[in-house]
Amino acid sequence: MQLKLNHPLAIFDLETTGTNISTDRIVEISIVKIMPDGEEIIKTMKINPTVPIPLETSLIH
């Protein structure tokens, strides 16, 4: 599907240590920026969560 954009569109995805927003941390963030001309700019950054990653979380990712 071809998007017809007038302005850039950014989409992001987070990988985290769990699903509790009060206690869990971000491990990785990826951003895709789609420009009106169809160009895609992708950035991914791994982040040290400074807490242990639970085994059940590691098994998902």
User: Which pTM value belongs to this model?
Assistant: 0.75
Q: 19 by DSSP, 3-state: which? A: coil
pLDDT in tens, 10-44: 999 999 988 888 989 999 999 999 999 999 999 99
Q: Are 16 and 33 in contact (CB under 8 A)?
A: no
Q: Which long-range contacts (CB under 8 A, 24 or more apart) does 2-11 make?
A: 2/38, 3/34, 5/34, 5/35, 5/36, 6/36, 7/36, 8/33, 8/34, 8/35, 8/36, 9/33, 9/34, 10/34
- Domain ranges for the chain, please list them: 9-52
Confidence band, pLDDT 50/70/90 cuts, at residue 61:
low
Dig out the tokens for 25 from the structure: 């941390």
Looking at per-residue pLDDT, the higher value among 61 and 4 belongs to 4
